[in-house]
Copies of this chain bind each other. A is one copy, B any other.
Amino acid sequence: MAGRQGMSECSSALTICPYLLICHDIFSTFAPPMQQYLDTSNSPPVTRLLARMIVNTRYEDLSPVTVKAAELALYDWVGCAMVSGQTEKAAKMARVAAAEGAQGGALVFADGKRTSPHWAAFANGASHAVELDDVHMASIIHGGIVICPTALSVAEQSRASGKKLIEGLVVGFDVAYRIGEAIAKTHYLMWHSTGTVATFGAAAAAAKIMGLDEDQTCWALGNAASQAAGIWEYLKFGDDTKLLHSGKAAMNGLLAASLAREGFTGSDTGIEGERGFLATMSGSSNPAAVNWDAMTRDLGKKFKVDENGYKLHACCRHGHVSIDNALRLIQQHGIRADQVKAVRVQMNRNSCDTLGDSDPVSPYKAKFSLAFFMATCFLHRKVGMEAFTDDRLRDPAMRAFMKKVSYLENPEYTRNYPRLWTASLEVELQDGQVLSTQGDLPYGDPATELPIPLFEQKALDMMGSVVGADRARGLLAAMQQLPEVGDVSRIFDGYPYR
């Protein structure tokens, strides 16, 4: 903080408008209502503590588990980014980015162009479009679609090594998820935390890869706080805004770091200060609503990227345990669809209510149909994006199998929900044999063991649908040996290989 002392003369409301003191009066007028806002007078200096962690984190000190977690986060996201890039929503964002004619070495997955890191981060934020990206359950943040575009674009621009990219990813996810866990849950009522909180993650990732010092990193976090945005109103009609939130969080976080690199200052109490991010956007006046400990516990020792959650199946999460159950049983026993007489599922009440449509009329509706999921498992042995088409919906074999599927609520499962998402499966074969299994949480949930081969397959499927199977295998291999990559901008050389 040395060097800031000289500014203490400005440390009053006067500095709002040195030439227009009316603001001073406004604050006086409103002093009493300030009480309704979060009391942060005893907050720890988390902006600085997080900045210090960002600066001090070194690849050499990371555990192999964390390194692998960062790799998985990257290749899972790259698959999402490539497939999302084929959507019209992503194309709209890419067209705005391309119109800039900006110069740089950062790849936009939607059009294969190279541009400045800011516009690449923005356009690649569209990686949410197919909604198969990661999520951190404790903070309700989709980290990958914000942290990965920023980290990759900065790393590509600076021709950073794979190790440096890993450092950026690790601190980026860590900062985003820590703040997301810490902020009052009431934040999520009005704010889309992937747009708001994840901005800090993008700033952290960019600051790390740029090599900013501790003060600069504080400024980046402070100016991330002043750019955090994203409200839920778009949900009413499902507007494209959702992708703007991730794209802008990525770009805004990066901009905060780019400015800090130029010496542009920001508040080093931007997160915890009395008019900082938490006080302003917690939606609560109760200091206990903020979990300060979540921001500092094991800081620099344990990294939140280890807790990242992934989605293996391209449908509503309420069906994921049942799909895992079915695919596991099918594989273990080599079950063919024509052997099956009946499929009986037990789930919690919420899942029953959500997945009860036994006759979905559209691919979108099919994403909420247990019967459709089960038929897909037994007939196609995978519930990827390719499962939700009109052809599949009309397929007589699918329709016939869907009639074999039934479900009911298990009250015990309902009691355990949402801590557990338990579901059980009973398959009765034509020969009278009955096979059964059960699961508590979907594969991909951080509390379960990650079935790495399944994630590799997901990434290969997604990337392969855009660049072909051979290229996809090469890309996956590169990202799975990221510490050996000397210049990450080479990984996607030639993309999209047209």
By a beta-carbon cutoff of 8 Å, the part of chain A in contact with chain B is 4, 7-11, 13-27, 29-30, 33-34, 36-37, 89, 92-93, 95-96, 99-104, 116, 118-119, 131-132, 135, 137, 140, 185-186, 188-191, 195, 219, 222-223, 225-241, 244-245, 248, 252, 255, 258-259, 262-270, 273-277, 279-281, 283, 311, 313-318, 350, 354, 364-365, 367-368, 418
Contacts and interface: CB of A to CB of B under 8 A. Distances in A.
Contacts of A131: 17-20
A230 to B, nearest CB: 5
A162 to B, nearest CB: 24
Nearest to A258: B96
A99 B254 CA distance: 13
A273 B190 CA distance: 11
Leading 7 A-B pairs by shortest Cβ distance? A101-B103, A10-B238, A232-B275, A229-B229, A92-B262, A239-B265, A102-B102
Contacts of A34: 189
A280 B281 CA distance: 9
Given A245-B226, A248-B227, A418-B25, A30 B317 contact: no
Contacts of A314: 19
Nearest to A4: B237
Contact of A244 (B96, B118, B227, B283): B227
A318 B264 contact: no
A244 B229 CA distance: 14
A259 B244 contact: yes
Contact of A280 (B18, B191, B245): B191
Contacts of A279: 190
B140 A26 contact: yes
A248 to B, nearest CB: 6
Given A18-B364, A20-B311, A190-B280, A267 B244 contact: no
A222 B234 contact: yes
A240 B266 contact: yes
A317 B89 CA distance: 48
19 contacts: A16-B232, A19-B131, A19-B314, A20-B131, A20-B316, A21-B354, A22-B317, A36-B283, A37-B189, A100-B116, A225-B231, A226-B230, A226-B234, A227-B244, A231-B276, A231-B280, A233-B276, A236-B267, A244-B266
Contacts of A37: 189-190, 283
B241 A30 contact: no
A99 B258 contact: yes
Given A34-B189, A233-B269, A236-B269, 13 more contacts: A8-B237, A10-B237, A18-B368, A21-B318, A33-B186, A96-B259, A99-B258, A195-B226, A227-B230, A232-B280, A233-B277, A234-B270, A237-B267
A37 B222 CA distance: 26
B238 A92 contact: no
Contacts of A269: 233, 236
A446 to B, nearest CB: 14
Residue in A99, A103, A230 with the greatest tally of chain B CB atoms within 10 Å: A99
Contact of A7 (B238, B318, B367): B238
Contacts of A103: 100-102
